[in-house]
């Protein structure tokens, strides 16, 4: 997509940033012409005769950019946006993030900064400087001594007249990856589509090959088992030979084919929980006892906080938020209430468990479950994506660590992760051989 040509009509924008028409009857809003600014997203929206242009802003550069308002980087045209319009007035525009329900407010400004109308410089030095500014905007510190070195290295890349531009891009990619690593942001990633490179900040104890093999092996074991499944195979459930009742939550997004985050996805979760309710009642009738649950979040890298809240409250109904983010409580509750049908149990977590899955694990711990496995990744903050001047995309967490607390007001361990109540061996958490009957 041509980033400079990123303009949308108001009607098209509603389709892109909200649910599709089949999911939700979103009324078309009367969006007034003007310039609007979001402190949270550090972005401008310019509305001119029903055409909306998004501008990404940093102190040194500002330009029309596809990324920066909504994280659509990996989305297809069939699975579009992650925001919905919820309000528009003369002074404000209000959107809602579909993944967590958080509001995003744009307020009217008198004019667009002058440097937003200029084409951004896209050299290596501008890329590094812009990335450093973005990290500062979203509360991520950098070593100033290291930053001076990175800027020097960027200047060297710009100064070299290479016969192989690809090599220069690879060198810049390595430099940008190093900057992100220094930020200690467990959400951070860089996507360079032009050179087909992707890097995510991580410090995994288990290698990527073993993680992926274990993930594939689990899916194969589940598919050949007698367990039930639903919501695009995101959920698996049933009684194990051990007497525990298994609930495998593979992910917290794409519970329906319509979109990653949607009302149909939440309804699918509700239907699955009704099936689990009947199954748990049947188990109690046959065995004469309520089973303990084994909730598997080992390879769950997160998704929707609303799905996490809905699941936590169905398992053990509590009148408390899943999390509170800068004063906004994330709370979702729907029938059924399974609290009386089980004896709590265990939540399996690993270093892969992240984001909404970590929030779910903490909520279940507060509801009486034990965490077993490894320390989780420590990526609790909601994320956003931004463009760099050369078109590369970076992902960043949006909030300072102390702005994200659990359901009882305790600051969550951003960057550190949840410590399990009991550690388990790696070969138990990441098995690469088929499960034994």
pLDDT of residue 130: 95
Residue 10's pLDDT is what?
32
Query: CA-based angle 397:402:407, to the nearest 5?
Result: 95
Quick one: 232 exposed, middle or buried, by C-beta within 10 A (0-12, 13-18, 19+)? middle
Sequence-ordered list of residues with C-beta below 8 angstroms from that of 97, at least 6 positions apart, any chain: 82, 83, 103, 104, 382
User: Which helix (DSSP H) or strand (DSSP E) does residue 88 occupy?
Assistant: strand 83-88
Phi then psi dihedrals of residue 51, to 5 deg? -110, 130
Q: How far apart are CA 372 and CA 290, in angstroms?
A: 21
- DSSP label at 29? P
pTM above 0.85, yes or no: yes
Map tokens 């029938």 to a residue.
335
Distance CA(162)–CA(173), nearest Å, equals 16
* 3-state secondary structure (DSSP) of residue 304: coil
SS3 track for 331-368: CCCCCCCCHHHCCCEEEEECCCCCCHHHHHHHHHHHCC
The segments of the chain whose pLDDT lies below 50 read 1-26, 67-80
- Give pLDDT tens digits for 370-414: 999 999 999 999 988 888 999 899 999 999 889 999 999 999 999
Whether the CB-CB separation of 234 and 254 falls below 8 Å is answered with: yes
What is the spatial distance between Cα 82 and Cα 383, in angstroms, rounded to a whole number?
12
Q: Which tokens hold the place of 63?
A: 């330009």
- Report how far residue 10's alpha carbon sits from residue 28's, in angstroms, rounded to the nearest whole number: 8
DSSP lists the bridge partners of residue 248 as 236, 296
Q: Domain residues of the chain, as ranges?
A: 3-117, 208-379+415-429
What's residue 278's pLDDT? 98
Count of alpha carbons within 13 angstroms of residue 262, beta-carbon side? 24
Of residues 95, 109, 120, the one with CA closest to residue 35: 109
What pLDDT, on a 0 to 100 scale, did the predictor assign at position 28?
66
- The alpha helices in 230-339, defined as continuous H runs, are 263-287, 305-315
Burial 289-322 (b: 16+ CB within 10 A, else e): ebbbbbbbbbbbbbbbbbbbbbbbbbbbebebbb
Instruction: Answer whether 348's CB lies under 8 Å from 295's CB.
Output: yes
What does the angle CA 18 – CA 98 – CA 95 come to, to the nearest 5 degrees?
60
Contact assessment for residue 179 and residue 142, using Cβ atoms and an 8 Å cutoff: yes
Locate 418 and state its tokens: 């949840």
d(CA 246, CA 346) in angstroms, rounded, equals 10
C-alpha count within 13 angstroms, C-beta hemisphere, residue 397: 28
> At a CB cut-off of 8 Å and minimum separation 6, what does 299 contact?
211, 214, 215, 218, 250, 350, 352, 353
Instruction: State the residue for tokens 């995510």.
Output: 200
Count Cβ atoms below 10 Å from residue 352 Cβ, excluding itself: 24
306 phi and psi angles, rounded to 5 deg: -70, -40
Q: What CATH code would you report for 208-379+415-429? A: 3.90.226.10
């Amino acid at each position: 997509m041509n980033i400079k040509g990123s303009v949308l009509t108001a009607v098209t924008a509603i389709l892109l940033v909200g649910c599709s028409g089949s999911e939700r009857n979103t009324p078309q809003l009367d969006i007034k012409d003007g310039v609007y600014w979001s402190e949270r997203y550090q972005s401008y929206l310019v509305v001119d005769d029903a055409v909306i242009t998004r501008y990404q802003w940093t102190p040194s550069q500002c330009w029309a950019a596809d990324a920066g308002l909504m994280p659509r980087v990996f989305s297809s045209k069939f699975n579009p946006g992650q925001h919905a319009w919820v309000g528009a007035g003369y002074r404000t525009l209000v959107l809602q993030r579909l993944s967590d329900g958080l509001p995003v407010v744009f307020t009217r400004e008198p004019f667009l900064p002058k440097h937003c109308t200029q084409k951004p410089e896209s050299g290596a030095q501008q890329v590094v400087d812009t990335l450093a500014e973005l990290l500062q905007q979203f509360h991520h510190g950098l070593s100033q001594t290291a930053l001076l070195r990175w800027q020097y290295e960027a200047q060297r890349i710009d100064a070299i007249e290479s016969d192989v531009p690809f090599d220069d891009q690879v060198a810049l990619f390595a430099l940008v990856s190093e900057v992100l690593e220094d930020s200690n942001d467990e959400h951070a990633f860089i996507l360079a589509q032009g050179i087909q490179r992707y890097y995510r900040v991580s410090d995994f104890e288990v290698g990527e090959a073993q993680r992926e093999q274990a993930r594939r092996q689990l899916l194969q074991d589940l598919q050949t088992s007698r367990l039930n499944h639903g919501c695009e195979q995101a959920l698996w459930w049933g009684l194990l030979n051990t007497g525990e009742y298994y609930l495998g939550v593979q992910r917290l997004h794409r519970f329906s084919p319509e979109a990653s985050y949607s009302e149909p996805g939440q309804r699918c979760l509700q239907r699955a929980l009704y099936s689990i309710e009947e199954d748990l009642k049947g188990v109690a009738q046959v065995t004469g006892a309520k089973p303990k649950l084994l909730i598997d979040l080992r390879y769950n890298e997160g998704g929707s906080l609303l799905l996490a809240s809905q699941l936590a409250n169905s398992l053990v109904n509590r009148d408390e938020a899943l999390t509170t983010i800068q004063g906004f409580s994330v709370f979702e509750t729907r029938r059924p209430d399974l609290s009386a049908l089980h004896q709590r149990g265990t939540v399996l977590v690993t270093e892969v468990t992240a984001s909404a899955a970590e929030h779910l694990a903490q909520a279940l711990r507060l509801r009486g479950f034990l965490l077993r496995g490894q320390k989780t990744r420590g990526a609790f903050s909601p994320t956003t994506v931004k463009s760099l001047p050369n078109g590369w995309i970076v992902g960043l967490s949006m909030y300072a660590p102390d702005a994200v607390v659990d359901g009882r007001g305790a600051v969550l361990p951003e960057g550190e992760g949840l410590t399990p109540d009991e550690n388990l061996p790696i070969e138990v958490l990441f098995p690469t051989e088929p499960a034994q009957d």
